[in-house]
Chains A and B, each alone.
Chain A
């Protein structure tokens, strides 16, 4: 594979990688940390990309796989953790901490409250604009599962945002 093709694709995709990282990473985690780690992994795994296939789908898959392990571990940890510990763990805020971050836009807070499995399909389809089949390929899931998770996530967002009408910043 020509080196220039890969690097040109990667460079051109950096803004979208930052956007996806921002949608996936829960505040206050730094989304550019995720973007940077993903770029490093892509450079190491560059031989796995097949020229002629979609570069964005491949790159999103690398980022998502990097993110999901941490996200799931944090979700399990949050579920187990006693409530009084919550304030001490700044790196992976559970919901109460997130809700208190009023400087974040309501929609960003709502997205961050979705379970990882729903957040990733909303991020890929609604924010990144992938089709259901494309998202299913990135996530290595059946398209029906993607469709179901998207519906749950989008419905949860409706409810979270409807409940916050009086609680919006600005």
Chain B
């Protein structure tokens, strides 16, 4: 039986069913021309991968990360209320924000991936890898479970805002000494959807408002308004569902 060159290549690439592969394999064993061709194709594939695979191990150049690390203009977002007021006042350019939020979010992800060690050293055990992504642990998990927003002298973790996101989850923005972020209810735990490194205040106190990074992210996620005190207490009574 004859094996065409396309079938030979498909066999080398693992594209054939077991039956077809067995047929080609037998034909290649029996035919020196096919066998030599198969070896030549394998050699070229090997050369290609040897040439291009090392790129995977290279450091991604800064300018590629610069693209994803464009930050919001300094004066653009001071807090959630200001953003909302601005949007209510001028309806024309809100779409302009989206790429910037996207870029900001990208810088968060890079910070997360690149800064795992610094996250741990800054606040051991607050954010840990879980099955479905990063999860809150330790004092952060406890604060998210129990603490109402803006509780004075709350301890190691301060919860800033509680809200329901566009997926219907209860989410809460939080601040610790070295980081701040957002966590959303996932089962009986909290999925950390964002974590930013944060410079601590010189006097050791927490800023009461989230920095522009977290506020901007909240604004991309939130459905409706942040919970008021009564809504937050009700949500806590229901286990943040």
Contact = CB atoms under 8 A, between A and B. Distances in A.
A125 interface: yes
Interface in A41-60: 43-44, 46
Nearest to B165: A2
A170 interface: no
A44 B95 CA distance: 11
B9 interface: yes
A46 B103 CA distance: 11
Contact of A40 (B67, B101, B112, B193): B67
B56 A15 contact: yes
B140 to A, nearest CB: 16
Contact of A154 (B44, B56, B102): B44
A4 B64 contact: no
A60 B67 CA distance: 18
A15 B61 CA distance: 10
B64 A11 contact: no
B10 A158 contact: no
Contacts of A137: none
B40 interface: yes
Interface string A129-168: 0011000000000000001101100110110011000000
Nearest to A21: B55
Contacts of A32: 61, 63-64
B82 interface: no
Contacts of A7: 68, 102, 105-106, 108-110
A36 B64 contact: yes
B75 interface: no
B36 to A, nearest CB: 11
Contacts of B30: none
B113 A12 contact: yes
A19 B57 CA distance: 10
Contact of B49 (A40, A127, A148, A155): A127
A43 B102 contact: yes
B86 to A, nearest CB: 20
Interface stretch (A64-72, A82-90, A94-102, A104-112): A104-112
Contacts of A127: 48-49, 52
A79 interface: no
B194 interface: yes
Given A3-B105, A107-B51, 11 more contacts: A3-B217, A4-B112, A4-B193, A15-B58, A15-B60, A19-B52, A19-B53, A36-B67, A43-B102, A105-B47, A132-B15
11 contacts: A2-B167, A4-B105, A6-B105, A7-B68, A7-B108, A15-B58, A36-B63, A36-B67, A43-B106, A44-B102, A157-B48
